[in-house]
Chains A and B, each alone.
Chain A
Amino acid sequence: DVKVTQSSRYLVKRTGEKVFLECVQDMDHENMFWYRQDPGLGLRLIYFSYDVKMKEKGDIPEGYSVSREKKERFSLILESASTNQTSMYLCASSLGTGALGSPLHFGNGTRLTVT
């Protein structure tokens, strides 16, 4: 079974802090994704990566950056956390190019609260 592990289940940070969310997958997947999930809005794509050191902006990249130095690890960075970034963050991985029939495998999520 594919395992996608997010380093923290819950995080509480202060406004202005730099925040790192880490994600590791163990199935040699090429693609990795970061989503945020808010009630009534479904999942919104922040960034994705289809290869090491490659990254692409999703629908809502503002205020975020990412890093993929190794194939199995994809980090989401909030350069200066703000209260409107309080949310559930979900990491996912998949085989192949894009989501061409290949399902996403999700981690359990990190619930981030910015105060």
Chain B
Amino acid sequence: AQSVTQLGSHVSVSEGALVLLRCNYSSSVPPYLFWYVQYPNQGLQLLLKYTTGATLVKGINGFEAEFKKSETSFHLTKPSAHMSDAAEYFCAVSGPDSNYQLIWGAGTKLIIKP
């Protein structure tokens, strides 16, 4: 069965520093991969997704993620953190193993230090 692991329930970075949020998945075939962001008191919104093609995917607000099949990873990065990036980030995967239903990671709360 497919599963998604997000390393670290909380990640703290200084404003201006690199953001790296880790996501690993298990799947027998290359899946579809998603990152969603949830700002306080809001629903989730799509940050970026990988379906096919280029493995480096650019999303909104300067975020990007790279699909690495050999490492079964889809880590989210941003070169320079901004205070407005403080939110909870969710990685999700779908594919034939899950009948194309989304399997969610537990989420990582990103804290930005001034």
Contacts and interface: CB of A to CB of B under 8 A. Distances in A.
Nearest to A58: B101
Given A43-B90, A99-B32, A101-B51, A4 B100 contact: no
A104 B44 contact: yes
B41 to A, nearest CB: 7
B106 A104 contact: no
B45 interface: yes
B106 to A, nearest CB: 4
Contact of B104 (A43, A106, A107, A109): A43
Given A41-B106, A42-B105, A103-B34, A98 B94 contact: yes
Interface SS of chain A: helix, strand, loop or mixed?
loop
Contacts, number: 57
B17 interface: no
Contacts of B101: 45, 48, 58, 98-99
A99 B102 contact: yes
A100 B100 contact: yes
Contacts of A42: 90, 104-107
B43 interface: yes
A42 B100 CA distance: 18
Interface string B95-114: 00001111011110000000
A99 B46 CA distance: 13
A81 interface: no
Interface SS of chain B: helix, strand, loop or mixed?
loop
Contacts of A90: 43-44
Nearest to B93: A99
A110 to B, nearest CB: 10
A13 B70 CA distance: 49
21 contacts: A40-B9, A42-B90, A42-B105, A42-B106, A43-B90, A43-B104, A44-B104, A45-B101, A90-B43, A90-B44, A92-B43, A92-B44, A98-B101, A100-B100, A101-B32, A101-B94, A103-B49, A106-B44, A106-B45, A107-B43, A108-B42
A90 B92 CA distance: 16
A109 B42 contact: yes
Contacts of B107: 40, 42
